[in-house]
Structure 1
Amino acid sequence: MQLILGSGSPRRQDILKQVNVDFTVRTPNVDESQIKTTKPIEKVSALCKLKAASIIFEADDEIIVTADTVVSYKNMIFEKPKTKQEAYTMMRALSGQTHEVHTGVLVNSKHKQELFVETTKVIFYPLTDEEINDYIETDEPYDKAGAYGIQGLAAPFIKKIDGDYYNVVGLPIGRLMQVLKNFNDH
């Protein structure tokens, strides 16, 4: 079995390296804007499939894993912010509130595929304007759904999580490894 990570995300790569999994990266080349749904679980599911469809099998024993993560608050999807104002608005909305992080993962071989979505609830402490402004002055918010990384400078903002920590980082590794066990049989 050769594992192919269909993602350019350094966080997903770091998680796989952390658990000593050998993999090769093939970055999907897709236009994510073609997925129009505003429902978080539908969106991550559709994006995984879109990414997987763009990656070509080069060997019979390859297993391709694609993933997508979104943050949702009150059923509104928080994408990666493009501006400081967007990052500020997201962080202000999440302050003192509970939101969800959804990661869709598609595991795909030539013989079968399995799609799952992992959801983790995250509760933020109330944030001051100074904390938000200091945070959005860093580079961290702008390549992350919801404008924050739980594993980085935003760690002090997290009061509690209910679910998989690695899901919030971008790859629910425990569940992924369980699914991969089913692919080793083929």
Structure 2
Amino acid sequence: MLPIISQLNSKRIVLASSSPRRKELLKIIGLNVESCASTFEENLDPKDFNSFSEFVEETALQKVLEVTNRLDAEAEIDGKSKADIVIGADTMVALNGEMYGKPKNKEDAIETLNKLNGKTNVVFTGVAIKYGDHIEKFTESTEVQFGKLTTEQIQAYVDTGEPLDKAGSYGIQHIGSTLVERINGDFFTVIGLPVYRLSFTLHKLYKELK
């Protein structure tokens, strides 16, 4: 994507998320983005989809569409330019056919971490990109092997507060890294934005749609 960074940055790029982690990843790869938190309720039922990939992709898409519609309406009123590119993502953790999002509270986080303890979970991050009138969706998945944790370790981690806004009740990029023995796949997928696949897709879209 490096050869077209300046061309992309001449456009208005919006991240349909308030996640500082996702925004920081986009900045690291050189994209000038603005954040606009989606108000989509995220009430889709995973059971209504054929796969976890379809579920996270659809959730990401709905975030993108909500933000796009809101920004378009604002542009009509105040004369601002509409967003050229809107990026949305959704991350979930799966184990034994069950999907785990953000915990409701500390007790829920402890319960989830006990289930993940010593096992390999799979992190799915679905991404939706609205580039002009074109929409592209994809999912990346990464296996995360948890070490064998004691009750005290789990409680101490939950007491830090870090798990409470993380899918699967852990954040691999901070203290949660001490829980993880190894991964198989894209590290950035676990953080919440698969950087390589996103860069590849943006480059492809630019070449196809310019």
Deviation at 1:180, TM superposition (A): 0.4
Structure 2 SS opposite 1:48:
helix
2: distance between equivalents of 1:37 and 1:94?
19
| Partner of residue 37 from structure 1, selected from 46, 49, 64 | 46
User: Matched residues in 1 for 2:85 and 2:205: separation?
Assistant: 8
Indicate the residue corresponding to 1:79 in structure 2. 101
Alignment of 1:20 with 2:30, yes or no, is: yes
Name the CA shift for 1:84/1:23 in 2 (closer, same or farther; >3 Å): same
The structural deviation recorded for 1:60 is 6.3
Confirm whether residue 10 of structure 1 aligns to residue 20 of structure 2: yes
Amino acid aligned to 1:13: K
| Per-residue deviation, 1:110 | 2.2
> C-alpha separation between the residues in 1 aligned to 2:90 and 2:197?
15
Gaps of 5+ in 1: none
Query: Greater helix share, 1 or 2?
Result: 2
- State the match for 1:105 in structure 2: 127
Instruction: Provide the TM-score with structure 2 as the length reference.
Output: 0.84
After TM superposition, the structure 1 = structure 2 runs for residues 58-77 of structure 1, keeping only pairs within 5 Å, are 59=81, 62-77=84-99
TM-aligned CA distance change 1:61 to 1:50, over 3 Å:
closer
Which residue of the partner structure matches residue 78 of structure 2?
A: none
Q: Does 1:92 align with 2:109?
A: no
Q: Please, which of 58, 63, 85 is the counterpart of residue 46 of structure 1?
A: 58
Secondary structure of the 1:154 match is helix
TM-score by length of 1: 0.94
The aligned amino acid for 1:25 is S
Distance 1:60 1:8 in 2: 19
CA distance in 2 between counterparts of 1:183 and 1:78 reads 32
Find the aligned partners of 1:13 and 1:181 in 2 and give their Cα distance. 19
Question: What residue ranges of structure 2 are gaps of 5+ in the alignment?
Answer: 1-10, 76-80
Between the aligned residues of both structures, percent identity stands at: 33
Q: What is the aligned length?
A: 185
- RMSD of aligned residue pairs (Cα, Å): 1.4
Aligned-pair distance for 1:61?
Answer: 6.8
Q: Which is higher, the Rg of structure 1 or of structure 2?
A: 2
User: Quick one: distance in 2 between partners of 1:61 and 1:137?
Assistant: 40
CA distance in 2, matches of 1:61, 1:135: 39
Counterparts of 2:134 and 2:58 in 1: how far apart (Å)? 17
| Preserved CA contact (<8 Å) 2:14 2:83 | no
Q: Does 1:167 align with 2:194?
A: no
Contact 2:12–2:82 under 8 Å retained in 1: no
